Amino acid sequence: MQLLAKTLAGLEDVLAEEIRQLGGQNIQIATRAVSFEGDKRILYRANLELRTALRVLVQIHRGRARNEEGLYRLIRGIDWEQYMGVNDTLAVDAVTSSRFFNHSKYAALVTKDAIVDQFRKKYHRRPSVNLIAPRLRVNIYIYEEECTVSIDSSDDSLHKRGYRIDALEAPINEVLAAGIILKSGWKGDRAFVDPMCGSGTILIEAGLLATNRAPQLQREHFGFVRWPDFDEGLWQEIRQAAEERITAPTHGLYGFDKDFKAVRLSEQNAMAAGLEEVVDVKRKPFERLEAPEPSGVLIMNPPYDERLLKKDIGAFYEMIGDRMKQVFPGYDAWIISANMEALKRVGLRASQKQQLFNGALESRLVKYDLYSGSEKTTHE
C-alpha cells in the first residue's frame, strides 16, 4: 500500500524516523507529510503508535483533471464498492493547490457527487453524507492537474489521544508536544522537567514515551475498523503487543506550575492517560524551583504576550534565563515561544534553533546547553 502520514510543519523529520522504526519502506519527506509503503500491519501500527502523525491516508488512485467534468470522470471511474456499500455513509475532505480548482469545498462536492451517482445508477439509491462519523472518509489532494485520491484510515485527527479531560486556554497540540520531545533526543534516560506544565500535555507526552506506551492505546475509533477488509484478529494482536511493551520509567518526570487550576488539570489528565503513578506534579513558580535530579531535560512552553502584559514579558524571559543558569546546570533546556524578541532576553547562548508552528503562531524551538557557569550572551 502507498501511505501518507500528515503532520505539523517542522516535524517531518521526526515523523519519518518514527515510520522507519515501524518498518515503513520507501520513505519520502514532503511538506507537512511523509509518504511511505507498508502492508496492513504497518497501517494499523502507524495509527496506534506514531506520536507525530495527525492522520494516515491510503492512496487508492491518481489521475489528472483540469475541470469539474474531468474530476467527476476520474472519481466516477473508481470502483467505490471496494470501500463502502450503498447503505454506508461518507465524507469528503479536499485540499487544492491548483489554478484549475480554486475552491477545495467545490472539489469535495464534485467528488461526493461522483461517488453517490455511481451507487445511484446501480441501486437507484445513494449513500448518505455524515461529516461527523462516516463509514468512509475520502481525501482528495489536487496539485495543479494532478489529483490524488486517498481514504483516511484515522478518521479523527490522531492528536486526540483521549486523555485531555480539560485544558487551560490555548493548550499545546499533543502532536507538537511529542515532536518537541523527540527532537530533544530524550528517551527517558534522564529526568524530565516541565516547569510551566499548564494542563500537562508536554509532561504527559513525555510520560507516554518514557513508559513506551502507544499514544492511541485508549482510543476506540479509527477509520480502518469500519472498512470491509478490516482484520480484527490482526488488530487485536497489534494492540496486545503494544500493551506488552509498556515498561516502568527509569527516571522521574516532574511538572510544575504556579497556578492551582493548572496543577489540578495536569493531575486529572495524567490520571486519564494512566500515568498518575509516573508523573509528579506540584504547584511551584519557576523562580522558586530547584532541580529535582542532577541532570535531565527541561522543556517548557512559557507564556507569550497573550498571557502577560507586554511590559513584563522581557523581564519574565530574563528571569527564565537566570534561573535556568543558576538551578539547572547539567540539563539540556528547550523553550518553544512565538515571541522572538522575548527569546532574546533569555540571555543564554543557544546551541540549536528550529522553526515550528504552535497553532497559527510561527514559533522557535531553542535549545540551551546548561553547563555549570553557563556564559551569558546576547541571544540572536
pLDDT at 371: 80
pLDDT at 359: 84
Enter the C-alpha cell of residue 308.
502577560
Question: Domain segments of the chain: what residues?
Answer: 2-152, 174-213+232-370
Q: In CATH terms, is domain 174-213+232-370 a member of 3.40.50.150? A: yes
- Least confident range from 135-139, 142-146, 217-221, 230-234: namely 217-221
pLDDT at residue 379 above 60? no
Percentage, residues of the chain above pLDDT 70: 94
pLDDT tens per residue, range 115-138: 999 999 999 999 999 988 899 999
pLDDT tens per residue, range 264-320: 999 999 999 999 999 999 999 999 999 999 999 999 999 876 555 555 888 899 999
Of 223 and 360, which is predicted with more confidence? 223
- Least confident range from 34-43, 166-175, 221-230: namely 166-175
Q: How confident is the model at residue 361 (pLDDT cuts 50, 70, 90)?
A: confident
pLDDT at residue 375 above 70? no
CATH top class, domain 2-152: alpha beta
pLDDT at residue 25 above 50? yes
pLDDT at 311: 59
Of 100 and 372, which is predicted with more confidence? 100
pLDDT at 380: 42
Q: Mean pLDDT score of the chain, rounded to an integer?
A: 92
pLDDT at 305: 60
pLDDT at residue 378 above 50? no
pLDDT at residue 237 above 70? yes
pLDDT at 261: 92
Average pLDDT over residues 94-117: 94
